[in-house]
């Protein structure tokens, strides 16, 4: 027995130190059905957080689960792994914590803990398989193909896989819950193509049915309306340029050309898998390869009267590669393919042979018009329906196969430059036509009798009408583009209603759409003014040039745009004669803010000076002699050049908005140190080589300023090498020195271990899921097979189907008295039946002082596929105090627009400060009536053992532990348990002992992180008492004493604001990048003191 215990702990020590921990959740498969595609049951799951490197801004919980039945896998016992009964484990003093660290499935660990607590004889013979990684699972039957011992955690392994991931597969994921003929396989419907304003189904307008309802959606005053009609909180607008809350990305309008592709090497998350990336004529999917696959599918449908040779030549014309033309050049197109078209093709035909636009508009070509050697000939648009008016440039009417055809005259094509591609010759020209005609396409099934309602706009000279939320949004919806051109002088009444969507340019008084503001284009009517400034082009430029900053006034650099006062242009650099240029904001910042450079004197005492110059002199390499000498201060910035590199005239003549200082200057250019003394003159008169030593005793292969050579340089060379260009900080903040900082070890998201087989990366079998080997342990040659663990957005044996789902983004607000209370957040998808069925749920902990800025992203899925369109669904959110399990409050959000396959919702929830929300409702038979905090509705909170709308449905098999409360059961008969603090697991039987030996100092309270959030660097959080801070409460807070003059009359309390400076990073994702973080406290003032 002792020997076996030692073996176990040797294994345990090895795993803790070296290898990942893989605990499966929900291994107790529910039901016997082998067709799991029809039900939403997910089991054999791994749970972890996505993108932990952004955990301070966005936190997403991801579950990768098996969605096909394990009954299809005939797994036999593998005798190479030891097995032990629960009774034997108990005799060896093995704990449930041991099993947890040994990658045992959570359900088995909890069953073992139940056995230890109850000594239930029925569990004594249950078997535990002692798996050795990479094998894991209830019978050691699973293995990740891309496991490697170099990975130290499950998160690192999964994150590492997706860092190298690139989906090149031609097998698309598909949305199959809508009847739609998308074309020949592998073409299929994508969820992004539903309600995108164009018909994609060839057999009907099914993908645009009901979408008109979005136009009638109205947002609250504190909400922003996305272009697609859905609503998000105003607080979420322009808050993070890489994570979108509108599915169409319209909440982050200054992302300009950003395309959030899944090929961007990151694990499945909202920003890739729940986002519309482009609006093209063929697809809106984020997978770039989908466009080419659909194009190939379109060209695979050929008229039987057209020869294969002709059709192949037309593909060649559009640079679509085929077996006959694998390598396409302009010579091949002009000399071979056009000749075949001329000789083998009919005079006019549809290309492709299916409708290209809106399900009924074909593109057709006449072969005698395709002889231009370079340009792509514009097509004819053919249809048996009306699709145009006089605003379209369509000419030369003709007939083809009972359709009327019009020639497109406004057309953008690509000439014969470089290598021809299907993007340049087919996709881009078709997109150009699509942009021209889409405004003429009416909203499918739109009730025209409602066009006269007050919040709708009738397009000019058209029967089409659109909701007000479509006006001035950067998207053309009307045939004449009048929805984007509404001005005060032409339509003053309407302009007053949409004025908030405009920005008024301060220089030109021109109105531009808010969507054009800070989009890197100058839309205010001038590219640059005399000062080189365009106010709407860049957010940061506009802020620094229009915001007065005390810290940068009179610092030698003009930042502010001039303001005319009393007929004079005033800036931040006028009337500075009495201003001290050497101050706490300018001293020793490597920038000459003072004309004589005194603010940079005596800054580096660690190195001896190259030359001892007095305070009235500055070092200088003389123009004529190239010697390092001391220049009198009265010759600095006097307009006369005395020193090489213009080092004595750094500040004189500095132009407005000059954002750097220093550098070796000659004839209008600044040279970096690597150009000095490198043997190649850059200046007109070789000033950059003039001062360099000749006949060195060694050979140089770069500049004397290089690290390996600088120690051999002369004093003059060392001085000029040190005069480097320094970028000026354009925003500075008032600061108090002496604050201590505590640093945590961040998750290294950039670490990459190249251990994944190339074939798994080049053609991932599971699309966006994880490929899993299943060991069958048969004696035959086929001893293993494969399955997939799919993220919530996909399902199927290869994660090939797109799941109907809700994507929630939630931020919580809490009052001051709740900052240090740990809450359990439970989010459930329920229906309106008497059973009040819980289709899916997610739960996590929330601590305001830790998570107040965090946006939580949560998936909820339906229990059946497809969802029942005859039911109403809602999102029910419960908030409990983790320590006492006291119910704090509940919220209800109805799920509208059930026709949407992916429904993005965004909320801000204020956690209630009080819990007085009971009501009287006699129908709550075995529960109590409670009010929802955000609506006037009520609900019955059932006692344990009861469920249903009125708590009248008994269920006596809730199996939550005594360290929890049972909320109810899901549709697949699993208990929903809220665990007390320090407990976790599906049934709350497992104890998290990370805080037993708390590392929190100064009486800080240790709080474990959620089990799926654990990393090596972050397993717990310390709630610090007043006066302490830091990761472990190890820092004594700096005390700020405020003393007020006795003549100042103070109120009983004051608000004190603390500002944390966030360094500016123009590449940062969070917008606005430069905003300091403010925290505010209310301080009571004793009337007996003035401080």
Q: Determine the average pLDDT of the residues in 444-468.
A: 91
Q: Is 942 helix (H, G, I), strand (E, B) or coil?
A: strand
Please report, rounded to a whole number, the percentage of residues in the chain having pLDDT higher than 70: 87
Q: Look at residue 259 and tell me whether its pLDDT is greater than 90.
A: no
pLDDT tier, 709 (very low <50, low <70, confident <90, very high otherwise): very high
Residues 6+ apart with CB under 8 A from 839: 40, 828, 829, 830, 831, 860, 861, 862, 863, 873, 970, 971
pLDDT tier, 779 (very low <50, low <70, confident <90, very high otherwise): low
| Beta bridge pairs of residue 622 | 643
pLDDT tier, 387 (very low <50, low <70, confident <90, very high otherwise): confident
Comparing 559-563, 637-641, 832-836, 1052-1056, the range with the smallest average pLDDT is: 1052-1056
Question: Tens of pLDDT along 278-313?
Answer: 778 888 888 877 888 888 889 988 999 999 999 999
pLDDT at residue number 1017: 60
Q: Look at residue 478 and tell me whether its pLDDT is greater than 80.
A: yes
Q: Look at residue 371 and tell me whether its pLDDT is greater than 70.
A: yes
Q: Determine the average pLDDT of the residues in 1029-1040.
A: 87
Q: Look at residue 580 and tell me whether its pLDDT is greater than 90.
A: yes
pLDDT at residue number 253: 63
Is residue 774 within 8 Å of residue 787, measured between CB atoms? yes
Q: Look at residue 781 and tell me whether its pLDDT is greater than 80.
A: no
Q: Look at residue 1071 and tell me whether its pLDDT is greater than 60.
A: no
Ordered DSSP codes for 943-993 = PTTEESTTS-EE-------TTEEEEEEBTTS-EEEEEPTTEESTTS-EE--
pLDDT at residue number 206: 95
- Cα→Cα distances 794→189, 604, 676, Å: 14, 59, 58
Phi and psi (nearest 5°) for 1005? -95, 125
Residues 6+ apart with CB under 8 A from 1026: none
Tokens of 280: 């093209």
Q: Taking the model in full, what pTM does it have?
A: 0.83
Q: Look at residue 878 and tell me whether its pLDDT is greater than 90.
A: yes
Question: Tens of pLDDT along 907-918?
Answer: 999 999 887 788
Residues 6+ apart with CB under 8 A from 1013: 49, 52, 55, 59
Tokens of 864: 């059946």
pLDDT at residue number 152: 82
Q: Determine the average pLDDT of the residues in 357-370.
A: 91
392 vs 115, higher pLDDT = 115
Q: Token pair 């893989």 is at which residue?
A: 22
As a whole number, the mean pLDDT across the chain is 85
CA distance 456 to 443: 13
Domain range list for the chain: 1-164+764-801, 290-440, 604-727, 804-991, 1040-1091
pLDDT at residue number 32: 52
Question: Tens of pLDDT along 51-80?
Answer: 777 777 888 888 999 988 777 888 888 888
Q: Look at residue 923 and tell me whether its pLDDT is greater than 90.
A: no
Question: Tens of pLDDT along 988-1022?
Answer: 999 999 899 888 999 999 999 886 666 556 788 99
pLDDT tier, 263 (very low <50, low <70, confident <90, very high otherwise): very low
Q: Determine the average pLDDT of the residues in 745-768.
A: 56
Positive or negative torsion for Cα 116, 118, 124, 127 = negative
Give the β-pairing of 1020-1023 and 1028-1029.
unpaired
pLDDT tier, 487 (very low <50, low <70, confident <90, very high otherwise): confident
Which range of 91-95, 366-370, 552-556, 599-603 scores highest in mean pLDDT? It is 91-95
553 vs 744, higher pLDDT = 553
pLDDT at residue number 1072: 43
- Going through 351-468 in order, the beta strands assigned E by DSSP cover 362-366, 380-383, 394-400, 403-408, 456-458, 465-467
Q: Look at residue 94 and tell me whether its pLDDT is greater than 90.
A: yes
Q: Look at residue 388 and tell me whether its pLDDT is greater than 50.
A: yes
Q: Look at residue 1065 and tell me whether its pLDDT is greater than 50.
A: no
Q: Determine the average pLDDT of the residues in 198-219.
A: 94
């Amino acid at each position: 027995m002792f020997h076996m215990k030692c073996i176990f702990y040797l294994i345990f020590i090895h795993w803790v130190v070296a290898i990942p921990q893989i605990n499966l959740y929900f291994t107790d498969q529910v039901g016997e059905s082998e067709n799991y595609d029809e039900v939403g049951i997910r089991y054999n799951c791994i749970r972890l957080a996505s993108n932990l490197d952004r955990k301070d801004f966005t936190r997403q919980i991801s579950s990768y689960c098996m969605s096909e039945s394990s009954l299809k896998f005939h797994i036999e016992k593998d005798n190479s792994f030891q097995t032990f009964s629960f009774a034997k484990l108990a005799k060896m003093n093995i704990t449930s914590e041991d099993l947890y660290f040994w990658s045992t499935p959570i359900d088995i660990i909890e069953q073992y803990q139940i056995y230890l607590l109850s000594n239930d004889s029925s569990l004594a013979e249950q078997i535990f398989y002692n798996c050795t990684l990479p094998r894991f699972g209830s019978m050691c039957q699973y293995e990740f193909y891309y496991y490697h011992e170099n990975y130290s955690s499950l998160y690192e392994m999964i994150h590492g896989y997706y860092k190298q991931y690139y989906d090149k597969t031609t097998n698309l994921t598909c949305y199959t819950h809508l009847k739609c003929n998308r074309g020949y396989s592998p073409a299929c419907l994508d969820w992004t193509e539903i309600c995108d304003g164009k018909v994609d189904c060839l057999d009907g307008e099914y993908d645009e049915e009901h979408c008109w309802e979005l136009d009638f959606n109205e947002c609250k005053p504190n909400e922003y309306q996305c272009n697609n009609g859905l609503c998000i909180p105003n607080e979420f607008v322009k808050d993070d340029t890489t994570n979108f809350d509108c599915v169409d990305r319209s909440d982050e309008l200054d992302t300009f050309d950003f395309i959030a592709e899944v090929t961007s090497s990151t694990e499945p998350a909202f920003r890739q898998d729940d986002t519309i990336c482009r609006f093209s004529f063929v697809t809106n999917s984020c997978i770039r390869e989908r466009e080419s696959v659909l194009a190939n599918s379109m060209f695979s449908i050929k008229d039987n009267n057209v020869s294969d040779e002709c059709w192949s030549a037309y593909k060649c014309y559009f640079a679509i590669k085929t077996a006959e033309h694998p390598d396409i050049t302009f010579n091949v197109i002009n000399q071979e393919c056009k000749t075949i078209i001329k000789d083998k093709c009919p005079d006019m035909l549809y290309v492709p042979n299916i409708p290209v636009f809106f399900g009924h508009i074909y593109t057709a070509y006449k072969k005698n018009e395709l002889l231009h050697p370079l340009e792509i000939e514009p097509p004819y648009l053919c249809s048996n329906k009306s699709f145009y008016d006089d605003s379209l440039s369509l000419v030369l009417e003709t007939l083809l196969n009972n359709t009327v055809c019009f020639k497109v005259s406004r057309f953008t094509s690509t000439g014969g430059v470089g290598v021809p591609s299907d993007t340049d010759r087919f996709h881009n020209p078709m997109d150009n036509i699509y942009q021209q005609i889409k405004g003429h396409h009416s909203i499918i099934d739109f009730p025209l009798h409602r066009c006269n309602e007050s919040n709708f706009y009738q397009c000019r000279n058209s029967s089409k009408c659109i909701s007000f939320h479509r006006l001035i949004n950067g998207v053309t919806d009307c045939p004449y583009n009048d929805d984007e051109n509404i001005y005060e002088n032409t339509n003053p009444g309407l302009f007053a209603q949409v004025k908030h969507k405009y920005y008024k340019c301060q220089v030109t008084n021109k109105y531009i759409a808010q969507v054009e503001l800070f989009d890197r284009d100058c839309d205010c009517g001038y590219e640059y003014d005399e000062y080189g400034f365009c106010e709407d082009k860049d957010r940061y430029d506009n802020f620094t040039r229009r915001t007065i900053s005390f810290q940068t006034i009179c610092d030698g650099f003009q930042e502010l745009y001039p303001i005319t006062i009393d007929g004079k242009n005033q800036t931040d650099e006028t009337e500075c004669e009495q201003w001290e240029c050497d101050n706490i904001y300018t001293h020793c910042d490597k920038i000459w803010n003072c004309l004589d450079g005194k603010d940079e004197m005596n800054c580096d005492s660690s190195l001896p000076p190259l030359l001892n110059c007095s305070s009235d002199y500055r070092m200088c390499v003389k123009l004529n002699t190239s010697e390092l000498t001391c220049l009198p201060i009265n010759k600095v910035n006097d307009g006369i050049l005395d020193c090489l590199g213009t080092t004595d005239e750094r500040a004189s003549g500095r132009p407005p908005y000059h954002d750097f200082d220093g550098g070796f200057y000659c004839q209008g250019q600044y040279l970096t140190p690597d150009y000095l003394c490198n043997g190649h003159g850059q200046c007109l008169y070789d000033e950059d080589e003039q001062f360099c030593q000749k006949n060195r005793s060694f050979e140089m292969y770069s500049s004397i300023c290089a690290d390996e050579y600088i120690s051999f340089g002369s004093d003059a060379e060392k001085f000029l090498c040190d005069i480097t260009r320094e970028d000026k900080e354009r925003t500075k903040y008032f600061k108090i020195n002496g604050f201590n900082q505590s640093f945590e070890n961040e998750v290294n998201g950039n670490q990459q271990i190249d251990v994944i087989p190339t074939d798994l990366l080049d053609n991932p079998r599971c699309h966006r899921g994880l490929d899993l080997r299943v060991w069958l342990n048969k004696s035959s040659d086929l001893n293993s097979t494969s399955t997939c663990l799919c993220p919530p957005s996909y399902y199927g044996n290869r994660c090939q189907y797109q799941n109907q789902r809700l994507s929630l983004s939630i931020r919580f607000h809490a009052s001051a008295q709740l900052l240090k209370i740990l809450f359990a957040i439970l989010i459930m998808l329920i229906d309106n039946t008497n059973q009040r069925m819980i289709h899916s749920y997610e739960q996590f902990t929330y601590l305001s002082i830790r998570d107040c800025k965090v946006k939580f992203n949560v998936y909820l899925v339906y229990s059946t596929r497809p969802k029942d369109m005859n039911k109403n669904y809602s999102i029910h959110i419960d908030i409990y105090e983790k320590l006492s399990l006291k119910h704090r409050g509940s919220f209800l959000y109805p799920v509208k627009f059930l026709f949407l396959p992916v429904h993005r919702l965004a909320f801000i929830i204020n956690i209630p400060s009080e819990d007085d929300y009971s009501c009287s409702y006699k129908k709550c038979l075995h529960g109590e009536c409670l009010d929802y905090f955000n609506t006037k509705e009520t609900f019955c909170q059932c006692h344990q053992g009861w469920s249903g709308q009125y708590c009248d449905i008994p269920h006596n098999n809730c199996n939550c532990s005594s360290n929890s409360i049972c909320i109810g059961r899901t549709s697949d008969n699993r208990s929903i348990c809220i665990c007390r603090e320090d407990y976790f697991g599906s049934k709350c039987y497992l104890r998290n002992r990370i805080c037993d030996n708390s590392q929190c100092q100064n009486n800080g309270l240790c709080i474990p992180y959620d089990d799926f959030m654990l990393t090596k660097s972050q397993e717990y959080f310390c709630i610090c008492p007043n006066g302490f801070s830091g990761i472990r409460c190890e820092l004594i807070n700096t005390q700020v004493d405020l003393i007020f003059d006795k003549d100042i009359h103070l109120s009983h309390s004051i608000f004190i604001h603390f500002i944390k400076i966030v360094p500016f990073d123009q590449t940062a994702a969070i917008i606005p990048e430069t905003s300091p973080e403010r925290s505010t406290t209310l301080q009571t003032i004793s009337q007996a003191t003035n401080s």
